[in-house]
């Protein structure tokens, strides 16, 4: 699946958006989510105020979903986590230097969109 996705995307994989709620912060409402989706996991889980990019790291939230924080690769109608893709393809996907040193994808980035400062 991953090799086909790389071929279809001229070397790029399509990743689904990865939204992460935080119970201790209020969303700033600038992530372009529909207002009905800001508390998609429920008020007790908190508002979605982070978007993670190329993440193989689970979110450290209480009562999280099993795949919370993990980016998904989308190929045709199929999907798998980026972590699964990296484990399957290794150096062919992330390069020999990273693979040989870490044996995984060791980085990700995120947008924070909080109403106020992070405590």
pLDDT at 102 over 90: yes
- Quick one: tokens of 77? 């109608």
Q: Looking at residue 101, what is its pLDDT? A: 98
98/11 Cα distance (integer angstroms) = 17
Angle at 76 between CA 37 and CA 90, to 5 degrees: 95
Confidence of residue 119 (pLDDT cuts 50, 70, 90): confident
Arithmetic mean of pLDDT, 6-13: 93
Judge whether 15 and 73 are in contact, CB under 8 Å. yes
Average pLDDT value for residue range 95-113:
97
> Helix, strand, or coil here: 112?
strand
Q: How far is Cα 102 from Cα 94, in angstroms, rounded to an integer?
A: 11
Backbone angles phi, psi at 71, to 5 degrees: -80, 145
Q: What are the tens digits of pLDDT across the range 37-96?
A: 999 999 999 999 999 999 999 999 999 999 999 999 999 999 999 999 999 999 999 999
């Amino acid at each position: 699946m991953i090799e086909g996705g790389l071929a279809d995307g001229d070397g790029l994989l399509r990743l689904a958006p990865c939204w992460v709620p935080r119970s201790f912060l209020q969303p700033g409402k600038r992530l372009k989510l529909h207002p009905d989706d800001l508390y998609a996991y429920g008020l007790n889980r908190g508002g979605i105020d982070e978007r993670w990019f190329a993440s193989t790291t689970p979110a450290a939230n209480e009562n999280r979903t099993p795949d919370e924080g993990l980016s998904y690769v989308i190929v045709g109608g199929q999907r798998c986590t980026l972590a699964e893709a990296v484990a399957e393809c290794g150096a062919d996907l992330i390069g020999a230097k990273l693979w040989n040193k870490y044996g995984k994808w060791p980085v990700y980035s995120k947008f924070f969109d909080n109403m106020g400062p992070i405590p």
